A and B are shown apart, each in its own frame.
Chain A
Amino acid sequence: DAKTTQPTSMDCAEGRAANLPCNHSTISGNEYVYWYRQIHSQGPQYIIHGLKNNETNEMASLIITEDRKSSTLILPHATLRDTAVYYCIVRVAEAAGNKLTFGGGTRVLVKP
């Protein structure tokens, strides 16, 4: 699976959009981008995933660049409960199994 690079930490203001970048310059054509988050002392929570088109669900939007070398997770209206570590993961679409390779993630602090 391709390696990802994320900023170590970032702050954002409550009520504003939070834009979380992820670099995956070595991504292959058959690899998806997944985003998970982990709120303190809880298990990771799946947020969204995509291949090449932008995706949106009730939690967030995922914007993938045309060359697929980077992506941005957007939390449209950040709340204090969005304070968490966010992980960007690249995973082969037809992987032999469910292994997820987590990096260091981005520690997001939403401030009032």
Chain B
Amino acid sequence: KAGVTQTPRYLIKTRGQQVTLSCSPISGHRSVSWYQQTPGQGLQFLFEYFSETQRNKGNFPGRFSGRQFSNSRSEMNVSTLELGDSALYLCASSPSSGTGGGEQFFGPGTRLTVL
């Protein structure tokens, strides 16, 4: 079975621009979660989508948004980029949400650099 894939792997943007990151979960997995990893804050939960609905949201500003498609693929969007948005963005998939959802499979991440 193919693992979680994320595209692009690397991205360079400038302040004020917006960016869209993509995640394809493992086949059959319906839950996709997004995390941001920075040296200062570590790994932080952004949001989770399950069956095209947002289930949970972390403590991030509204500039961070996401969606999930009927095939479970997910995208996250960051608008009006700031320097502090430079980070590794990780996507994780799981067959279920809630009970049993603790075992998640992470993708390799997208490294975003904001100049």
Contact = CB atoms under 8 A, between A and B. Distances in A.
Contacts of B35: 100, 102
B43 interface: yes
A58 to B, nearest CB: 14
Contacts, number: 76
Interface residues of A, number: 25
Interface residues of B, number: 29
A46 B103 contact: yes
B48 A43 contact: no
B99 A95 contact: yes
A103 interface: yes
Nearest to A103: B42
Interface of A: 32, 34, 41-46, 49, 87, 89, 91, 93-105
Interface of B: 4, 31, 33, 35, 42-45, 48, 50, 55-56, 58, 90-92, 94, 97-99, 101-109
